[in-house]
């Protein structure tokens, strides 16, 4: 973790316990623009030799997580993803740009370092150029054990898949992307990891600090003062009378196991044993989408001419863009007259279906098409 991130954690240890259970708002003010042009397909890298500027580079990984570590120059500033005491996070808001990536909200737990994934929401689609609110009911921990010398501090952030849109982050400018600028007034710090972790996963090895990036995430927090600064085992705290289920917001998803697909696996599949039939000018295909947020991409039917060593040429029979909801849907691929004639030469023809979904590996499946 970068020095700015470490100072942000140290600053949190100076927060006094709340006197009552009044809700407070923490995190970004959401006034800065969501102006970064990248998503989780990119990552912030440490400066190259001879430079003090952090740089963007291809991530080479399918997903990422971001959270705010706050301004290093302002001790105690509430613009951070680190919760100040034990309590409950109720509402979370993010500001997005014109092409927002689908997000998961994520709760991380730092225990003498960073971090373990506690849980995350199901994916939701933020509104473009707007603030989107999601309601959660997350008990979070901030335990200072002066005897054992171990601190537990939970963090609120977000995760996303690469290649699906831009992130709710404001770039404060090239002059802020250096370790020296981290201590200038107003310069924000952020934590970043790739790929995102699943609940229970430790992400310490992939965590880096970034400077000059404001994570545009804000959350409402209700402290549980009776339990703060009590040395107990992490994960055993409760907040009596406070952790009741709250009504979900318009874009909320239930917490639980992820259902946005497996990172690095195309979310489109074909039903087991599926074969297609040429119907008029189309070949209808049954596509199964595994994402709660739906799937969009392109399916292409290809035919190898000849057999064995003679199959040196492949022709495209037809291509179709699709945008479907979660579940099984029919997508019709239109064929030209010449390509329809190719399929009518035999009773059954084996073709290759090539499915591309942005940010995911290409899926290639052999299908039989009956005339």
pLDDT one-digit tens code per residue, 117-136? 888 888 889 999 999 999 88
pLDDT confidence tier of residue 10, bands split at 50, 70 and 90 = very low
Residue 21 CB burial class (10 angstroms; 0-12, 13-18, ≥19): middle
* Of 274 and 254, more confident: 274
Residue 167 CA: distances (Å) to CA of 206, 266, 271, 345: 19, 21, 33, 50
> Where do the domains of the chain lie?
3-227, 268-370
Is 60 exceeded by the pLDDT of residue 243? no
DSSP assignment, residue 341?
H
Residue 341 CA: distances (Å) to CA of 335, 336, 367: 10, 9, 18
Whole-angstrom distance between the N-terminal and C-terminal Cα of the chain? 60
Q: CA torsion sign, 236 to 239 to 243 to 249?
A: negative
pLDDT of residue 283: 92
pTM of the predicted protein model: 0.60
Is 90 exceeded by the pLDDT of residue 177? no
User: Considering the chain, what is the average pLDDT of its residues?
Assistant: 77
* Of 67 and 308, more confident: 67
Could you please state the CATH topology (level 3) that the domain comprising 268-370 is classified under.
Immunoglobulin-like (2.60.40)
Angstrom distance (rounded) from CA 136 to CA 92 = 7
Is 60 exceeded by the pLDDT of residue 6? no
pLDDT of residue 245: 31
pLDDT of residue 305: 80
Residue 92 three-state SS? strand
Is 80 exceeded by the pLDDT of residue 217? yes
Angstrom distance (rounded) from CA 182 to CA 189 = 7
Summarize pLDDT for 218-235 with one digit per residue, the tens.
999 988 765 544 444 544
């Amino acid at each position: 973790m970068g020095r700015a991130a470490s100072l942000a954690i140290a600053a949190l240890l100076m927060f006094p316990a709340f006197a009552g259970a009044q809700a407070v708002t923490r995190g970004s003010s959401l006034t800065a623009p969501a102006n970064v042009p990248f998503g989780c397909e990119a990552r912030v890298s440490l400066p190259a030799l001879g430079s003090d500027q952090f740089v963007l580079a291809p991530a080479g990984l399918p997903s990422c997580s971001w959270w705010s570590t706050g301004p290093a120059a302002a001790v105690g500033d509430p613009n951070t993803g680190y919760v100040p005491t034990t309590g409950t996070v109720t509402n979370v808001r993010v500001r997005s740009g014109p092409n927002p990536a689908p997000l998961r909200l994520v709760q991380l737990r730092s225990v003498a370092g960073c971090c373990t994934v506690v849980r995350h929401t199901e994916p939701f689609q933020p509104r473009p150029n707007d603030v989107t609110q999601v309601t959660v009911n997350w008990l979070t921990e901030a335990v200072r054990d002066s005897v054992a010398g171990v601190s537990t501090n939970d963090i609120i952030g977000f995760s996303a898949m690469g290649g699906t849109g831009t992130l709710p982050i404001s770039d404060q400018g090239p002059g802020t992307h250096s370790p020296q600028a981290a201590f200038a007034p107003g310069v924000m710090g952020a934590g970043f990891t790739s790929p995102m972790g699943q609940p229970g996963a430790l992400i310490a090895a992939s965590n880096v600090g970034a400077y000059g990036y404001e994570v545009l995430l804000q959350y409402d927090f209700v402290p549980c003062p009776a339990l703060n600064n009590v040395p107990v085992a992490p994960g055993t705290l409760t907040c009596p009378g406070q952790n009741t289920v709250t009504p979900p917001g318009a874009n909320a998803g239930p917490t639980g196991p992820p259902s946005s697909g497996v990172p690095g696996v195309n979310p489109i599949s074909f039903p087991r044993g599926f074969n297609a039939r040429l119907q008029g000018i189309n070949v209808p295909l049954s596509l199964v989408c595994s994402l709660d947020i739906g799937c969009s991409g392109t399916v292409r039917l290809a035919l190898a001419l000849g057999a064995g060593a003679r199959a040196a040429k492949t022709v495209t029979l037809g291509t179709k863009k699709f945008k479907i909801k979660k579940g099984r849907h029919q997508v019709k691929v239109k064929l030209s007259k010449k390509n329809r004639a190719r399929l009518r030469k035999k009773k059954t023809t084996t073709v290759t279906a090539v499915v591309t979904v942005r940010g995911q590996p290409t899926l290639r499946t052999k299908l039989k098409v009956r005339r």
